[in-house]
């Protein structure tokens, strides 16, 4: 198995998107970014793969996106593949029966972890990913291509076990016990933001049409409407988009598609460090 860099692949937690949904989401993304020059996938990965990075996340009302993107620097480029600028993602998050990943992340523990199976819905390509904290506030993500969906094979279990042990995740967390805990789907537009100095380019993603669901054909699901999750992925220096967001009164928030989604869907779970973003930014007060 070979670790690969971050690549895009419409929404719908069952892995299927209707033509109308894809068209609507793609049309919005095309309109927001019509003034930006395109960049191809290979050039984007080569320029700013950023698998070890500082992530800053924001929740922005969708109505603000046109003005925000109109103000980005002229050298900003948008990922375009075969004329499309928005791509469907599905993430199946894995956790232990005791929800160790949820609790470690929600309590801000240093030795937290995240494991997911990510599928790019436009291509059907699936990866197994593990994400752990890196040095000095960075995040480290590694991943391997999956040849199949479903239970992990021996090689995939070994890959995860080696990464979790290297990250000093608590010993009681066993790879063999990982099982689906949450599904999220969304559509993503990716920007390349040119830095002021060589080697300081960064990326940003705009996620729309987010839907959270518990595993199972008839489980609860929760669409997040009229909100865009903006994530900047930089080195140590904030990007031009970060500065634009700050100037408009937006500050980074604690949002995790896994932790926040699970806390929103399961009323038996505490909201931990995600209570403010759920109530203030997403408009989801506890019932």
pLDDT at residue number 15: 42
Is residue 2 included in any domain, yes or no? no
- In the chain, DSSP finds a helix count (H) and a strand count (E) of 8, 11
Three-state SS at 146: coil
CATH of the domain at 144: 2.40.320.10
Question: Measured at the alpha carbon of residue 126, what is the angle toward residues 121 and 127, in degrees to the nearest 5?
Answer: 135
Q: Smallest Cα–Cα separation from 122: which of 155, 152, 81? A: 81
Report CA torsion sign: 80, 139, 181, 143. Answer: positive
Is residue 98 included in any domain, yes or no? yes
Is residue 157 included in any domain, yes or no? yes
pLDDT of 24-38, one tens digit each? 555 787 889 999 999
Q: Are 241 and 61 in contact (CB under 8 A)?
A: no
Give the separation between CA 169 and CA 167, rounded to whole angstroms. Answer: 6
Buried b / exposed e across 71-94, counting CB within 10 Å, b at 16+? ebeeebbbbbbeebbbbbbbbbbb
Report CA torsion sign: 151, 154, 159, 163. Answer: positive
Q: Are 224 and 277 in contact (CB under 8 A)?
A: no
Residues 152, 156, 157, 163, Cα dihedral to 10°: -140
Q: Smallest Cα–Cα separation from 228: which of 248, 210, 246, 255? A: 210
pLDDT of 109-141, one tens digit each? 888 999 999 999 999 999 999 999 887 767 788
Give the separation between CA 102 and CA 99, rounded to whole angstroms. Answer: 5
**Number of structural domains in the chain:** 1
Is residue 14 included in any domain, yes or no? no
| Domain carrying residue 120 | 19-281
Is residue 77 included in any domain, yes or no? yes
Q: State the pTM of this model.
A: 0.85
The beta-carbon contacts of 206-210 under 8 Å, at least 24 apart in sequence, are 206/29, 206/32, 206/65, 206/230, 207/89, 207/231, 208/25, 208/28, 208/29, 208/62, 208/86, 209/10, 209/11, 209/21, 209/25, 209/185, 210/11, 210/184, 210/185, 210/186, 210/257
Is residue 209 included in any domain, yes or no? yes
Is residue 56 included in any domain, yes or no? yes
Is residue 97 included in any domain, yes or no? yes
Q: Are strands 221-224 and 227-234 parallel, antiparallel or unpaired?
A: unpaired
With a cut of 70, list the residues of the chain below it in pLDDT. Answer: 1-26, 48-53, 137, 198-199, 287
Provide φ and ψ at 98, rounded to 5°. Answer: -90, 5
């Amino acid at each position: 198995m070979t670790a690969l860099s971050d690549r895009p692949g419409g929404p719908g937690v069952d892995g299927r998107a209707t033509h109308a949904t894809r068209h609507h989401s793609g049309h919005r993304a095309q309109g927001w970014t019509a003034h930006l020059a395109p960049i191809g996938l290979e050039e984007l990965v080569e320029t700013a793969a950023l698998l070890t990075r500082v992530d800053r996340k924001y929740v922005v009302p969708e109505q603000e996106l046109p003005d925000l993107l109109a103000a980005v620097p002229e050298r900003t480029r948008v990922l375009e593949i075969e004329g499309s600028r928005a791509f469907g993602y599905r993430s199946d998050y894995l956790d232990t029966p005791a929800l160790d990943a949820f609790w470690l992340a929600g309590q801000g523990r240093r030795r937290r972890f995240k494991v997911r199976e990510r599928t790019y819905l436009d291509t059907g390509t699936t990866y197994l990913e593990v994400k752990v904290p890196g040095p000095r506030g960075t995040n480290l993500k590694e991943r391997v291509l999956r040849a199949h969906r479903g239970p992990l094979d021996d090689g995939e279990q070994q890959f995860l076990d080696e990464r979790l042990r290297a990250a000093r995740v608590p010993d009681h967390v066993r790879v063999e016990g990982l099982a689906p805990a949450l599904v999220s789907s969304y559509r993503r537009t990716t920007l390349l933001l040119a830095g002021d100095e060589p080697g300081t380019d960064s990326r940003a993603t705009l996620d729309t049409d987010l839907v959270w669901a518990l595993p199972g054909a008839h489980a609860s699901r929760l669409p997040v409407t009229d909100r865009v999750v903006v994530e900047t992925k930089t080195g140590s220096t904030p990007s031009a988009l970060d500065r634009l967001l700050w100037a408009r009164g937006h500050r980074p928030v604690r949002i995790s598609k896994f932790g926040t989604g699970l806390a929103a869907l399961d009323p038996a779970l505490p909201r931990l460090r995600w209570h403010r973003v759920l109530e203030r930014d997403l408009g989801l007060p506890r019932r």
